[in-house]
Chain A
């Protein structure tokens, strides 16, 4: 599967990780184009069904990334996101959506380098893992 290019859907919060992605760009850092950023105001608004839908539509991985604990612009949205990730990690791997495909990270606004590195590593890992099985199956 040398020619496999994974699609990664990343839900990033406006205040931290999106700003970090912006910083990566303005700093002319490069990272793979496999990632599709979806800017949300807070990781606390990422409904589990957004993630489920992304997988059923064929995403090879989903990244949720927001502010570090204690830094949330809305005080505690990232803690709620962490509980929802815990929940989804108890459900999705049972049905063949490998746990490696679902990631939560904290990347602060000044962490452009960290953002670029995270995407690079994630793309490598998913290339290794291969495509999401639901990608070509008519599973909806």
Chain B
């Protein structure tokens, strides 16, 4: 059983308690900085911010539903080589799992960071976040948490959780050194701190917090969230499959794509330093387009759209953590997260692999064994 502690919330002020918890991390001799989502001055955006001055942490807002990017990319920037000092990073479960994938792809490491994971009730796409923030941005997080912890997925007339979050079966930060728990807790009184690693246990000890068991309802609350999400995942995957089970239907599903590649830029696990689709390979000669058009009587411009998405599936779905940033980044609202999550469930199953589960499991396409997958070979002798 992991070591857990309860952190008291004064004056029903969750934000204040989180800020003081983060300040206590910064006061630890081993931690030089904290990276946490923070309200940016002068407007209502919330963005990951690297903080060394404890005073600044009063604007920290880790439970804000804003999710402008998957922070695994930022952690990768901080850890591609050792920064020489330790940074505590406050991350959502999908950000932690994406970072684990990047570590396995040698684009980051975990030695110089302490991962503070949060229980994630979900996020909002950028437009929806701005709508919910509206005229009262100060209270956005409180309004969101109150409704989300009540099991709601709809927050305003036109604001609801994106499909990626509705079907996410990893609401609890597995792999974090310390998890901040809010499911099954009375967040006017206490939040839960649970150490998931030795590093986390050491930190909990140094912080001098009283080790206490989580309250009774905690496990049940997490269980019911996961089973609700599993149910909607099944429905969503079935619906997407129905819409994409022939090449023509897949093309129709992707017909709004303008080859902007925003989904690839936003994807935390699209790991290639240079994507082949922006190289000269796809800088076709003008006559080539005419030749294609003549062969079939017409050709969709821009070309290579289905080709791009299928290739991206082959590249990254074994590492897909289902964070939904592809959908968030799409200018034409193509439901990419559902499509890629569905494909990821098949490719990860094929290799008995789960993205972000463990640093010990090798990425499926990076290894091979002599005696395996005989079923894909037609003639064996």
Which of A4-12, A23-31, A34-42, A97-105 interfaces with chain B? A97-105
Q: Is the CB of B379 within 8 A of A106?
A: yes
CB within 8 Å of B: which A95-118 residues = 95-97, 103-107, 114, 118
**CB-CB nearest in chain A for B317:** A91
Are B310's CB and A83's CB within 8 A?
no
Known contacts A53-B307, A104-B377; A96/B249 CB under 8 A: yes
Contact for A87 among B247, B318, B370, B372, CB less than 8 A:
B318
Q: Report the minimal beta-carbon distance from A45 to chain B, rounded to whole angstroms.
A: 14
Q: Are the C-beta atoms of B248 and A89 separated by less than 8 Å? A: no
**A83 vs B317: C-alpha distance in the bound complex, in angstroms?**
14
Whether the Cβ atoms of A86 and B373 lie closer than 8 Å is yes
B169 part of interface (Cβ distance < 8 Å): no
Interface residue A139 (Cβ < 8 Å from any Cβ of B): yes
Specify which chain A residues have a CB less than 8 angstroms from the CB of B305 in the assembled complex. 140
Q: What are the interface flags for B130-159 relative to A under an 8 Å C-beta threshold, 1 for contact and 0 otherwise?
A: 000000000000000000000000000000
Among candidates A53, A82, A91, A140, residue contacting B313 with C-beta atoms closer than 8 Å: A91
Say yes or no: B245 contacts A96, CB within 8 Å.
yes
Q: Tell me if A85 and B311 are in contact (CB < 8 A).
A: no
- Most A CB contacts (10 A, CB to CB) among B248, B369, B377 go to B377
Which A residues are in CB contact (< 8 Å) with B351?
A: 86-87
Instruction: A97 to B343: give the CA distance in the assembly, Å.
Output: 14
Q: Is B244 in contact with A140, judged by CB distance below 8 angstroms?
A: no
Q: Does A120 have its Cβ within 8 Å of any Cβ on chain B?
A: no
| Other-chain residue from B297, B300, B342, B370 in contact with A140 (beta carbon distance below 8 A) | B300
**Nearest B residue to A97 by beta-carbon distance?**
B247
CB-CB under 8 A from A88, the residues of chain B are: 314
> How far is A96 from B246 in the complex, measured between Cα atoms in Å?
4
**Does A49 contact B314, Cβ atoms closer than 8 Å?**
yes
Tell me the nearest residue of chain B to A53, going by C-beta: B307
Q: Which partner residue on chain A sits nearest B302 by CB separation? A: A140
Query: Can you name the residue of chain B whose Cβ is closest to the Cβ of A90?
Result: B350
With the chains together, A52 CA to B276 CA distance in Å?
Answer: 14
A95 B307 Cβ-Cβ under 8 A: no
Q: Which residues of the partner chain A approach B27 to less than 8 Å between Cβ atoms?
A: none
Interface string of A62-94 (1 = CB under 8 A from B): 000000011000001001101111111111101
* B347 & A138 in contact (Cβ 8 Å cutoff): no
The reply to whether A82 and B372 form a contact with Cβ atoms under 8 Å apart is: yes
Known contacts: A49-B311, A52-B311, A95-B250. The answer to whether A83 contacts B368 by CB under 8 A is yes
Beta-carbon contact of A140 and B379 below 8 Å: no
- Having A96-B248, A107-B379, A138-B296, one finds 19 other A-B pairs with CB under 8 Å, namely A55-B247, A56-B310, A70-B370, A82-B377, A85-B376, A86-B373, A89-B376, A90-B350, A91-B314, A91-B347, A94-B244, A95-B250, A97-B247, A104-B377, A134-B247, A137-B248, A139-B248, A139-B306, A140-B300
